[in-house]
């Protein structure tokens, strides 16, 4: 991918790197800004399985030093040719806690003292053990009939999104940054990076289905705010394991077969085995959709699929068949400029790079 260098000069331009440390792989994207436009310079991916003695595609639990080594190895690859250490890193959704809390609309200064007190009700550890952040979600004023009944103007309310990350998690990522020789400007929970990469200014609710190796994360986003979330304990590697067991082949062989033909395998039983794994994901997704519709009295307009599992051949058609609604792949590379001859491959691999592109876009904006 270093051949992209031949298309663009790099003098006096801001560069930014997005690093997504997933459960089974590290993905990186480097962008450059020129004339107000984000330009793709390079991107790459490295599987973490082999660093834990596992096969490609498997989720791996690795210490910080091993992850730092993998990041450094990926950045050293000639095909990737990373030229900046200025980056943003993702933090897994599972390592965070988010809640939307209704609070009095008393202004940002008073909320600064009120939010930490309110957050104690939702955070299961001492507040001093987490990094706390929050943002206001403007809401419509109280209903007029409520004011008429009491004869007193009702107190305005506002929703506040509270986000907490444990200090131990931050310390772990700081260790990775230090050992990998990076210059991290920020850490960001992966869902926010994904939104930046694949969502536009949609007013109607959208469900983002992020299918990783070990799990599938579901986020319902409305006007840029996460209204509901759910984690399904099934992911792309479960399809590999099911295929391996069914056909009596190694996990490595099953992974190669899955990536080559996906659900379109000539062996119909192979496709059926993987479809059974996906049936569980579809069922959990449908439950999440129905719960949102019941609570908010409005339907979700669209499903966007991202993550490595979204690249499985035939999965988009199967999802459309199951949900009977608008389902599409997230195409984060559409947010950047790249050579035309890369269009097809970037469309195919795009869903995997949603987080890293979202990170790079934020970092690039901060470099201005």
Q: Where are the domains of the chain?
A: 2-95+168-366, 96-164
Task: Using alpha carbons only, give the angle 119, 121, 122 rounded to the nearest 5 degrees.
Answer: 70
Q: What is the pLDDT of residue 154?
A: 57
Percentage with pLDDT > 70 across the chain: 91
CATH for the 2-95+168-366 domain, from 3.30.420.40, 3.40.50.980, 3.20.19.10, 3.40.50.720 = 3.30.420.40
User: For the segment 97-106, what is each residue's pLDDT rounded down to a tens digit?
Assistant: 888 888 888 8
User: For the segment 192-221, what is each residue's pLDDT rounded down to a tens digit?
Assistant: 999 999 998 767 899 999 999 999 999 999
The conformation of residue 140, written as its DSSP 8-state character, comes to: P
Task: Using alpha carbons only, give the angle 33, 133, 136 rounded to the nearest 5 degrees.
Answer: 90
Query: pTM to 2 decimals?
Result: 0.87
Architecture of domain 96-164 in CATH? 2-Layer Sandwich (3.30)
Rg (CA), the chain: 22
């Amino acid at each position: 991918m270093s051949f992209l260098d031949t298309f663009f000069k790099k003098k006096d331009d801001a560069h930014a790197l997005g690093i997504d440390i997933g459960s089974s792989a590290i993905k990186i994207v480097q962008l450059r800004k020129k004339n107000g436009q984000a330009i793709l310079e390079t991107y790459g991916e490295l599987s973490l399985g082999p660093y834990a003695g596992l096969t490609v595609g498997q989720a791996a639990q690795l210490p910080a030093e091993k992850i730092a080594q993998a990041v450094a190895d990926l950045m050293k690859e000639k095909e990737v040719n990373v030229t900046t250490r200025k980056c943003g890193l993702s933090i897994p959704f599972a390592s965070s806690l988010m809640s939307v809390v209704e609070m009095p609309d008393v202004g940002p200064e008073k909320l600064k003292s009120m939010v930490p007190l309110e957050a104690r009700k939702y955070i299961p550890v001492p507040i001093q053990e987490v990094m706390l952040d929050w943002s206001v979600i403007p809401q419509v004023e109280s209903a007029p009939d409520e004011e008429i009944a009491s004869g007193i103007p009702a107190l305005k309310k506002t929703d506040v999104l509270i986000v907490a990350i444990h200090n131990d998690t931050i310390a772990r990522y700081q260790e990775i940054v230090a050992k990998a020789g990076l210059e991290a400007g920020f850490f960001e929970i992966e869902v926010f990076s994904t939104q930046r990469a694949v969502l536009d200014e949609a007013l109607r609710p959208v469900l983002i289905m992020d299918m990783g190796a070990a799990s599938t994360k579901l986020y319902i986003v409305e006007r840029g705010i996460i209204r509901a979330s759910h984690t399904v304990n099934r992911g792309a590697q479960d399809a590999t394991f099911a295929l391996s067991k069914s056909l009596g082949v190694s996990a490595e062989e099953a992974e190669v077969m899955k990536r080559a033909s996906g659900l379109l395998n000539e062996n119909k039983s192979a496709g059926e085995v993987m479809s059974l794994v996906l049936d569980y994901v579809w069922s959990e997704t449908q439950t999440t959709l129905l719960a949102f519709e019941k609570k908010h009295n409005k339907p979700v307009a669209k499903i966007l699929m991202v993550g490595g599992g979204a690249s499985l051949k035939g999965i988009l058609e199967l999802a459309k068949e199951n949900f009977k609604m608008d389902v599409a792949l997230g195409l984060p590379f559409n947010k950047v400029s790249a050579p035309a001859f890369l269009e097809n491959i970037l469309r195919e691999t795009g869903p995997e790079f949603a987080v890293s592109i979202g990170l790079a876009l934020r970092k690039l904006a901060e470099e201005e």
